[in-house]
A and B are shown apart, each in its own frame.
Chain A
């Protein structure tokens, strides 16, 4: 998971980490990253999906 997080783009990675690992709400993340709240939600969704695809690809390669 750490390696997959490192492969994410910085924008998606910081949004995902702040939401799912630091448990911050969307408004605080938007304030910390200085972007609109809608952008934060979009980045979180895309980051989660990208992380899942990367992990699935890795899982297939290992199997």
Chain B
């Protein structure tokens, strides 16, 4: 992607479009946290991409301590359309509170994963079943992340909700990055939780306590559930940990694990309890056999 952007910058320069601007493409070296605005600034300054303490916010003190405006490439990419169509005309797209279009990136158990530009407010079902081609034969949607792996998960019953910022927030999730991850019923919720928690444990910068310890603790507890060493009370503790992470960290990475894990426990408590019970029985049988 960086090569494509570099080539585009070179083209723009050759065409004489960049007379008063200087464009640089800087790579984040693959770190997830470099998407966080202050970690991104540190990364740009050549430091390790760690989130900074806010305030001061980047608009006051950002890159090299100067006031800095940070925007997603996606946001910038809509600017030509807004100017071209006129603001009022563009605002007619989408819903009243979520205007315009959004690029959604559909992945997971769908036939046609990929990026699709949609008008905000279309039914979520339309994205997963229409654009992304639906699931494999005989499979059902077990859960889906409406806005990236850091968004609280939704279930099959939320599929008919319009896909916009307000509705997703009201349903207890968020539109977030617009990356829709679909998980079908051939997957255990425990595996999804483990995958999510392990990812965030790996990506945590380790600076602040709740995120560093909380992600690690959550992974360990999920592994204990899987190994048959957990009790139903552990589920309670795990849900409690998530609550203590949300809002108490230096940046939102901790929340990013706590929100989906918390929502998975909320929506799939029965299944977690079943895993705990089954794994325990498996272990007991193994003990008897040996």
Q: Do A and B come from one complex?
A: no
The interface of chain B, by Cβ under 8 A from chain A, is none
